[in-house]
Amino acid sequence: MCGFISIFGPAESNAIHDVLTGLLAIQHRGQDAAGVVTFGDRFQAKKGLGLVREVFQEKHMQRLRGHLAVGHVRYPTVGLGEDTDVQPFWLDYPVGVAMAHNGNVTNFHDLRRTYFGQRKIHLGSNCDLEVVLYVFADALMRRGGHPVEVDDVRVAVKEVFDRVKGAYSVVGITGEGMYAFRDPYGIKPIIFGRKTTPEGTWYAVASESVVLDVAGYEVVRDLQAGEMLWIGPDRVPHFVQVGDKPHRPCIFEYIYFARPDTFLDRTSVYEARMELGRRLGRAFQRTGLQADVVIPVPESARTAAQTMAEVLGLPCREGFVKNRYVGRTFIMPNDKARRDSIRAKLNPIRAEFEGKKVIVLDDSIVRGNTSRQMVKIARQMGAEKVYLASYSPPLLYPCLYGIDMSTKREFIARGRDHAEIARELGADFVLYQTIEEMVDAVRTAGNGKLEFCKACFAGEYPTGDITEQMVADIEQDRMAATKC
């Protein structure tokens, strides 16, 4: 799960400042690496491992000039997290094109073996973006390459859709313009915006609307499933519907990934989480259990905890204090390292637990490491009862579209009923949202007709082309990534 932003500024402008402002706004989508490619009179790049503020320094601003730019923050799902895999990628020849994406190519290994293998083309990285870039650039080149017209981009996007499977929202630049496309099923988010300054009109495409907000752009609209955008030298946005598949945006974006101040497909993530909390509050009421307080696991569960508490007529309290300087726990090499770092990350406030029946609310339970630790800490702090609540349903199936969810074997809910999960996590009771309530809650918050990709909960993959081999390949990548 990554984040991107691409900018087409007025002639003579420099897009780099907006790109960096945008990348900082979506740092939550990837803290592993960051990169920017700009175009003034040629491509200039700066990429590196680490956070945006660590990778970019003032000296790079002088070099990264130009009115066209694309930037990326990485959360590795394919590849071993090496610096050769840091996006954006670009080619100077046979066509000048730079590209970044968010998502996962499910037939990456297959393409590497067949489409590229048979032509004796060796990929230079383990990043699946490389196959999208080559297929796209190859099609552009066969169209003549220069100058790029909207129909050339349409043909290239169609070629990508025909060959490359999975979920991938893509942004990029050529020397003449900016392009973007959303994957055939619209699983990954992508939104287009515009602003006018004395210098002229600026266009931006980003993963989340919050990027546009903070960089001063007004939201124009989300791209639809299978839709592309090209803005060339005429500076007019050209939208073309290339695919014809149903729109199935990822529901986990609303649960965990996106910032609460983002709108995805015209649905407020904040409103969605509020509604998810209300629904879970009502579900808790139906259990007949009594509680004294709702305590969120920071950060994502905060919004839902407030409404859950409201419904239950209970206080919502900050029982855990998060140290935001401890890095990501989720992809630590083993469970012991993960547990230690969760403890270092979240420290309790005894007064909120002592002698109380507490509801500890998290957005999701994956391997159960966080929940197990939270329950243990709550008991150490003297809680009388610990009820664990998740405002999403049990996670049971690996995400093959770019969210690092772990492999099937690691899901705590796999093969266990709720009582067994509670026992396994040491809780007095475990309450999950149902799939129906989750979908209905997110719909209530925005576009009432949206259908979602909910494969990680229900096991139905909207692309309908997932093979056992793809699952095995992706699981192997994950294991390799967490071992290195």
Which residues form the interface with ligand AMP (CB under 6 A)?
A: 256, 297, 300, 330, 362-371, 403-405
Gap between the terminal Cα atoms of the chain: 19
Nearer residue to ligand AMP within complex by CB, 23 or 421: 421
Dist CA 378 CA 179 (whole Å):
50
**Alpha-carbon separation of residue 292 from 94, 312, 383 (angstroms):** 66, 9, 10
Nearest approach in angstroms of CB 281 to ligand AMP is 19
**Closer to ligand AMP at the Cβ: 70 or 403?**
403
Cβ-based nearer residue to ligand AMP, 250 or 314: 250
Coil/strand/helix, residue 352: helix
Strand ordering across the sheet containing 293-296: 293-296, 357-362, 385-390, 429-432
Cβ at position 406, least distance to ligand AMP in Å: 7
CA–CA gap between residue 343 and residue 33 (Å, rounded): 25
The CA distances from residue 122 to 30, 115, 356, in Å, are 27, 11, 61
Nearer to ligand AMP, 133 or 378 (CB): 378
Distances in whole angstroms, Cα of residue 418 to Cα of each of 220, 366, 413: 44, 14, 8
Q: How far is the CB of 27 from ligand AMP (least distance, A)?
A: 14
Work out the angle at residue 12's Cα, subtended by the Cα atoms of residues 6 and 17, and round it to the nearest 5 degrees: 45
**CB of 411 vs ligand AMP, minimal distance in Å:** 9
2 catalytic per annotation = yes
CA atoms within 13 A on the CB side of 118: 4
Residue 92 or 335 with smaller CB distance to ligand AMP: 335
Going by C-alpha positions, the residue among 214, 203, 294, 163 that lies closest to residue 13 is: 203
Q: How far is the CB of 301 from ligand AMP (least distance, A)?
A: 7
Catalytic pick from 2, 127, 250, 399?
Answer: 2
Supply the minimum distance, in Å, between the C-beta of residue 300 and ligand AMP: 5
Tell me which amino acid residue 316 is: C
Q: Cα Rg for the chain, rounded, in angstroms? A: 23
The whole-angstrom separation of Cα 397 and Cα 405 is 8
DSSP 8-state class, residue 453: B
Cα 27 → chain centroid: 11
Q: Which is nearer to ligand AMP, 66 or 81 (CB)?
A: 81
420-424: Cβ within 8 A, 24+ apart: 421/365, 421/368, 421/394, 422/388, 424/368, 424/372
Nearer to ligand AMP, 44 or 482 (CB): 482
Q: How far is the CB of 403 from ligand AMP (least distance, A)?
A: 5
> For residues 455 and 106, what is the distance between their CA atoms, to the nearest angstrom?
14
**Residue 166 near residue 186 (C-beta atoms within 8 A):** no
Nearer to ligand AMP, 299 or 310 (CB): 299
Compute the least distance from the CB of residue 339 to ligand AMP, in Å. 9
φ/ψ of residue 245, rounded to 5: -95, 160
Catalytic sites, residue numbers: 2
